Amino acid sequence: MVRHADPPLLALRGVSKRYGAVRALSDVELEIHAGEVVALVGDNGAGKSTLVKVIAGVEPADEGVIEWEGGPVRIDRPHDAQALGIATVFQDLALCDDLDVVGNLFLGRELTRFGVLDEVEMERRALGLFRGLSLRVPGVRMPVAALSSGQRQAVAVSRSLLGEPRLVLFDEPTAALGIEQTTQILDLVEDLRERGTGVLLISHSMGDVKAVADWVAVLRLGRNNGFFDVTATSQEQIASSVTGATDNAVTRRRAGAGEAS
């Protein structure tokens, strides 16, 4: 597989992040194109969630350059990422249990009419969003605290897609889900690719990665340790890069596919 000739939607160039004396990310390089699913894999502590937080503006990078459609940008706050069209579904979901589904979907961006909350319009949009995404919840007026883990995940995913983002970051979206719910999320990822949306998928499940990803980027100890074409790379090769059996595998990037133009 050869990547698009157009500039990437998002590119990280030499991005680093420190927490005191701990260097969580070191000179990380990453590219994500529109209509492409890139899986980010690595052992616990490899820096995957930190990288997502950097892109999402939760933990700004200390060094390096972030590019959006070929030009440098600053992402210092979540608002900066959202303004570019970047949406994030964090592993902890960040939902408010005391609010209903509609309240969670529109939290911080409530719709108003004549100075009061437009509950009817928010409910209408919520119902349409769930129908369009083929995600199911028992009712949009149910408290989130009463939902199952899969239904809570559906709410978090739906909230991220309200503004029709151009890039969606998923941090372990299927970790606590059953088979049917996992299938729904993976189908949604494929649907986003069909729409031309870029996707960064963090997952410990190689089955999920093989099912939906176009490329796999490996992080090891906060550094790049491989970039692979999913269709041309075995699961064993990727696992070796994750564990360190194949260090500096980035020099063999796009194994079997050649360098992209």
Query: In the numeric block, which tokens belong to residue 155?
Result: 């709410």
Beta bridge partners of 89: 170
Helix axes 119-133, 149-160, angle to 10 degrees: 110
Contact 130, 140 (CB under 8 A): yes
What's the CA gap between 97 and 104, in Å, rounded?
Answer: 9
Contact 220, 46 (CB under 8 A): yes
Nearest to 203 by CA among 48, 6, 9: 48
Predicted confidence pLDDT, tens digits, the chain (261 residues):
666 668 899 999 999 999 999 999 999 999 999 999 999 999 999 999 999 999 999 999 999 999 999 999 999 999 999 999 999 988 777 889 999 999 999 988 899 999 999 999 999 999 988 888 777 888 999 999 998 888 888 888 888 888 889 999 999 888 878 888 888 889 889 999 999 999 999 998 999 999 999 999 999 999 999 999 999 999 999 999 999 876 654 444 434 343 333
**What pLDDT, on the 0 to 100 scale, is given for residue 2?**
62
Beta bridge partners of 32: 10
